């Protein structure tokens, strides 16, 4: 028995209703759900390299092409249109960082390197900032606790925490540029600063209490290589802008598109969970119910929750299923389980419903 929730037979219609129900009765593990999910998806665990490569390379090509269009466009309206396309495409390309942490490197030869070379380093978000971090979020005894780097009880916090959570994301490109152009080189000569950089500024985290431990082995070697590359790129950007090689307008457009992509991801993160846990350990079923699916017929999640992220609750139930198979996994499980199963209670209709429910929930606790 865990400290989170079970639900009535009729699923709540909104995220706010779900939160109201979630504070009442502790939830037990639903073994029927777990067994059914594992049984009907056994053949879906193998990633298909052709899909990964085609999807990622197309996203990168469209993203950088639209970025160039925004920079070179003679009109403001056209630049904005190109910028919007660039934000969506680069956001999709960046979302593959989530897959890098779940797919074995030998299952996708060369993909991790290509992702870092084509996106991670140029956008100053190398994969080491997620590798070794995200896996903690999936540990049963860590999820939702103070040791989870990717969890904050937003629904239990002050109302201003929700908009602030999104607003701070707008400053991420500036922070990343400072981290790699200034802090990285300085930390080579100042050991106490290096410790701070590793612990607090080397992970894509949302829990301000989390402190990262130094990497070891192969991850440490990849970390050093990527950090050197990102640092050189960040310094080069600053030098090119300060010397006039790169026009200020082009640089600002690049930073704005980076910011837009990060904000979009932050909004998606805002509704990835219900954020109801108060730091207690949760069962697998409880973690699933605290997470969010936005399955079809909704169509917009394909844009704001790409690369399988629209099935975030299902991903927590089946973290080994690659993104391109999550839709099929969801259909199979739905066909296997009765309508009263908790499986359906992680499904939500839209981004708006989730955001409104979260804001109302936090306001109600102010």
* Residue 3 covered by a domain: no
Q: With 0.85 as the threshold, say if the pTM is over it.
A: yes
pLDDT of residue 350: 87
257 and 236 in a single domain? The answer is yes
Residue with the two structure tokens 């970025």: 67
173 and 313 in a single domain? The answer is no
311 and 228 in a single domain? The answer is no
* Integer Cα distance of 150 and 166 in angstroms: 15
Which of 239, 270, 301 corresponds to the end of one domain? 270
Q: Which helix or strand (DSSP H or E) is residue 51 part of?
A: helix 49-72
pLDDT of residue 1: 31
Task: Name 181's Cβ contacts closer than 8 Å, sequence gap at least 6.
Answer: 231, 234, 235, 237, 238
Which of 238, 254, 270 corresponds to the end of one domain? 270
| pLDDT by 10s per residue, the chain, length 366 | 333 322 223 334 444 444 444 444 456 789 999 999 999 999 999 999 999 999 999 999 999 999 999 999 999 999 999 999 999 999 999 999 999 999 999 999 999 999 999 999 999 999 999 999 999 999 989 999 999 999 999 888 888 888 888 899 999 999 999 999 999 999 999 999 999 999 999 999 999 999 999 999 999 999 999 999 999 999 999 999 999 999 999 999 999 999 999 999 999 999 999 998 888 899 999 999 999 999 999 899 999 999 999 999 999 999 999 999 999 999 999 999 999 999 999 999 888 888 888 877 655 554
353 and 239 in a single domain? The answer is no
197 and 66 in a single domain? The answer is yes
116 and 193 in a single domain? The answer is yes
- The domain of 330 spans 15-46+274-364
81 and 172 in a single domain? The answer is yes
What's the DSSP call for residue 106?
G
Distances (CA, A) of 297 to 159, 256, 330, 347, 349: 31, 32, 13, 11, 9
Which of 255, 270, 285 corresponds to the end of one domain? 270
279 and 262 in a single domain? The answer is no
Question: Per the structure, how many domains does the chain have?
Answer: 2
């Amino acid at each position: 028995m865990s400290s989170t929730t079970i639900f009535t037979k009729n699923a709540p219609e909104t995220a706010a209703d779900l939160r109201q129900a979630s504070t009442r009765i502790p939830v037990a593990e639903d073994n029927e759900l777990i067994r059914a999910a594992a049984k009907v998806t056994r053949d879906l665990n193998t990633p298909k390299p052709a899909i990964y490569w085609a999807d990622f390379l197309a996203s990168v090509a469209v993203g950088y092409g639209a970025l160039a269009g925004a920079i070179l466009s003679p009109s403001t309206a056209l630049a904005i249109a190109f910028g919007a396309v660039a934000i969506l495409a680069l956001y999709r390309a960046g979302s593959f960082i989530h897959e890098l942490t779940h797919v074995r490197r030998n299952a996708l030869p060369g993909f991790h390197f290509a992702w870092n070379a084509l996106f991670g380093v140029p956008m100053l978000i190398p994969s080491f900032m997620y590798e070794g971090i995200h896996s903690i979020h999936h540990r049963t005894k860590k999820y939702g606790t103070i040791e989870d780097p990717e969890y904050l009880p937003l629904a239990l916090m002050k109302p201003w925490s929700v908009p602030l959570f999104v607003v701070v994301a707008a400053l991420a490109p500036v922070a990343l540029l400072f981290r790699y152009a200034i802090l990285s080189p300085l930390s080579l000569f100042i050991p106490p600063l290096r410790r701070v950089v590793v612990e607090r500024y080397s992970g894509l985290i949302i829990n301000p209490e989390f402190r990262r431990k130094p990497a070891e082995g192969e991850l440490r070697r990849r970390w050093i290589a990527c950090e050197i590359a990102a640092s050189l790129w960040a310094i080069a950007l600053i030098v090119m802008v300060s010397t006039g090689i790169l026009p200020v307008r082009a640089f600002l457009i690049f930073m704005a598109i980076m910011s837009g992509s990060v904000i979009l991801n932050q909004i998606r993160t805002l509704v990835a969970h219900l954020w109801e846990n108060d730091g207690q350990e949760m069962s697998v079923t409880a973690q699933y119910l605290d997470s969010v699916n936005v399955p079809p017929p909704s169509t917009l999640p394909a844009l704001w929750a790409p690369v399988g992220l629209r099935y975030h609750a299902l991903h927590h139930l089946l973290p080994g299923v690659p993104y391109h198979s999550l839709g099929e996994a969801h259909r199979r499980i739905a066909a296997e389980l009765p309508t009263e199963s908790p499986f359906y209670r992680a499904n939500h209709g839209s981004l708006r419903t989730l955001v409104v429910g979260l804001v109302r929930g936090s306001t109600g606790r102010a």
